[in-house]
Structure 1
Amino acid sequence: MTSQAARRVLVLDDEQLIANTLALILNRSGFDAHAVYTAEAAIKSAREFSPDVLISDVIMDGSTGIDAAISISELVPTCRVILFSGQAVTADLLERAKASGHRFELLVKPVHPRALLERLKQMN
Structure 2
Amino acid sequence: MLAASPKPKKSVLVVDDHDIIADTLVMVLSAEGFHAVAAYNSQNALSLLQSGSFDLLLSDVMMPGMTGIELAIDSVRRHLVRKVLLMSGVSSTANLLENARKLGYSFEILAKPIYPTEVIERIQTLLAAGDGA
Give the TM-score taking structure 1 as reference length: 0.92
Counterpart of 2:50? 47
The one-letter code matched in structure 2 to 1:84 is: M
The 5 A counterparts of 1:5-20 are 6-20=9-23
Counterpart of 2:124? 121
Distance 1:64 1:100, change over 3 A: same
Deviation readout 1:65-99 (Å, 9 max, x if unpaired): 01111111123265211001010110000111111
What is the SS of the residue equivalent to 1:52? Answer: strand
Aligned sequence identity (%): 39
Partner Cα separation in structure 1 for residue 17 and residue 87 of structure 2: 12
- 5+ residue gaps, structure 1, are none
Counterpart of 2:31? 28
Give the TM-score taking structure 2 as reference length: 0.86
Of structures 1 and 2, the larger Rg is shown by: 2
1:46–1:75 Cα contact (<8 Å) kept: no
The one-letter code matched in structure 1 to 2:86 is: L
- 5+ residue gaps, structure 2, are 1-5, 129-133
Partner Cα separation in structure 2 for residue 41 and residue 29 of structure 1: 24
2:58–2:86 Cα contact (<8 Å) kept: yes
Q: What value does the CA root-mean-square deviation take over the aligned residues?
A: 1.5
What is the SS of the residue equivalent to 1:11? Answer: strand
What is the SS of the residue equivalent to 2:54? Answer: coil
Partner Cα separation in structure 1 for residue 36 and residue 93 of structure 2: 24
Write out the 4+ residue segments of structure 1 that deviate beyond 4 Å after TM superposition.
Answer: none
Tell whether 2:106 aligns with 1:103. Answer: yes
Counterpart of 1:80? 83
